[in-house]
Amino acid sequence: MKRPVLLSTIALAALLPLEAQAQNTESAPYHSSDTRKISKKLTSFSAKVGDSGKILTADKDNKIWMVSNPETLSGIDGRHVKVKALVDVAQSQIRIVSVTAVADEPAGIRLHDAAFRR
**pLDDT tens-digit map of 49-98:** 998 889 999 999 999 999 999 999 988 888 999 999 999 988 889 999 99
Q: Which residue has the higher pLDDT, 42 or 107?
A: 42
Domain 36-101: assigned CATH number: 2.40.50.500
The whole-number pLDDT of residue 113 equals 72
Which residues, including other chains, have CB under 8 Å from residue 42's CB and lie 6 or more apart? 84, 85, 86, 97
Average pLDDT, the chain: 78
Domain ranges for the chain: 2-26, 36-101
The whole-number pLDDT of residue 18 equals 54
What is the DSSP code (8-state) at residue 41?
A: S
Say what percent of the chain tops pLDDT 70: 67
